[in-house]
C-alpha cells in the first residue's frame, strides 16, 4: 500500500500513550512549549509564571493518556500507519478558562450567549506533526472531533479557524483553517477579523 493510501485513524487521547502525544507536539517550536495550555491558564497565570514541565504535567492530567477507562479526555490523537501524527483539543467550552474569560477576542465579538453552557463544545487546537502535513490529518481530526463531541452529549461544537494561511504567523495555525472546518460540516457564524472566523455545527 502506498503512503498516499494509508488511512488516518483517530482515537481519544486517553487511548493513546503520553509518548505518542509528545512525539506529535515535538521537542522544539510553539507546540512543544505551549503543551496546549493557552486557553487553560487560570486568571493571573501566564506562560512565564510556570515552566514547560508544569504545562506538560497539566496536559498529561487533562488528557488521561494511557488510561482507556478514563471518564474524560481533553482531545484526540491521530495516527497514520500506526505513527502518531496529529492532535486536536476538543472539550466542553467552559473547560477553556481563558476562552471563557474573553482573552480571545475572536470568540466573542458580536455575540451574547451563556459562556458557561457546557453543552457547547470547542475545538481550540488542530495540530499536525512536522513531516506529515498536507496529508489530510487536520481534516480527519476535525471530523473525528464532531463525532467525539456528539457522543459526549454536546448540543453544538465551535471552532475558531484562520481564514487564510497566507502570511499567517505559525503560532496561529494551531486553530486550523476555515476550509477544514467547512469541509467537516461547520457553518461560519462570525468573521471577527479578516484572518479569523468563528464556525459552529449544531447537533
pLDDT, tens digit, for every residue of 90-136?
Answer: 999 999 998 888 655 667 777 888 888 999 999 999 999 988 988 89
Instruction: Note the pLDDT tens digit of each residue in 140-190.
Output: 999 999 999 999 999 999 999 988 655 544 445 588 899 999 999 999 998
Q: What is the pTM of this model?
A: 0.90
- Please tell me the least confidently modeled range out of 10-19, 21-30, 62-71, 177-186: 21-30
CB atoms under 10 Å from CB of 156, counted, come to 16
Average pLDDT over residues 24-46: 88
More confident residue, 44 or 79: 79
pLDDT tens by residue, 54-84: 999 999 999 999 999 999 999 999 999 999 9
Closest of 76, 104, 108 to residue 89, by C-alpha? 76
Give the CA-trace dihedral at 104, 170, 146, 90, to 10 degrees: -60
Q: Categorize the per-residue pLDDT at 191 as very low, low, confident or very high, splitting at 50, 70 and 90.
A: confident
- Phi then psi for residue 106, to 5 deg, are -60, -25
Name all domains of the chain by residue range, CATH numbers in brackets: 3-202 (3.40.630.30)
Please give the pLDDT value at position 162.
86
How do strand 156-159 and strand 120-128 relate by DSSP bridges?
parallel
187-193 vs 75-80, strand pairing mode: unpaired
DSSP label at 2?
A: -
DSSP string covering 65-134: TT-TT-S--SEEEEEETTEEEEEEEEEEGGG-HHHHTT--HHHHTT----TT-TTEEEEEEEEE-TT--S
Amino acid at each position: 500500500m502506498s503512503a498516499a493510501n494509508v488511512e488516518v485513524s483517530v482515537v481519544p487521547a486517553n487511548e493513546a500513550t503520553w509518548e505518542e502525544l509528545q512525539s506529535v507536539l515535538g521537542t522544539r517550536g510553539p507546540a512543544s512549549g505551549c503543551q496546549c495550555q493557552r486557553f487553560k491558564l487560570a486568571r493571573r497565570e501566564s506562560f512565564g509564571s510556570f515552566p514547560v514541565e508544569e504545562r506538560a504535567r497539566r496536559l498529561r492530567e487533562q488528557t488521561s493518556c494511557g488510561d482507556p477507562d478514563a471518564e474524560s479526555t481533553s482531545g484526540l490523537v491521530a495516527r497514520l500507519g500506526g505513527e502518531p501524527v496529529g492532535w486536536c483539543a476538543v472539550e466542553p467550552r467552559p473547560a477553556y478558562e481563558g476562552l471563557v474569560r474573553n482573552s480571545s477576542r475572536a470568540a466573542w465579538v458580536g455575540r451574547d450567549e451563556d459562556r458557561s453552557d457546557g453543552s457547547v463544545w470547542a475545538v481550540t487546537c488542530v495540530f499536525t506533526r512536522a513531516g506529515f502535513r498536507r496529508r489530510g490529518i487536520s481534516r480527519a481530526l476535525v471530523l473525528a472531533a464532531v463525532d467525539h463531541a456528539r457522543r459526549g452529549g454536546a448540543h453544538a461544537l465551535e471552532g475558531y479557524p484562520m481564514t487564510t494561511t497566507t502570511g499567517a504567523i505559525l503560532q496561529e495555525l494551531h486553530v486550523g483553517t476555515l476550509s477544514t472546518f467547512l469541509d467537516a460540516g461547520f457553518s461560519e457564524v462570525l468573521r471577527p477579523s479578516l484572518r479569523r472566523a468563528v464556525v459552529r455545527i449544531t447537533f
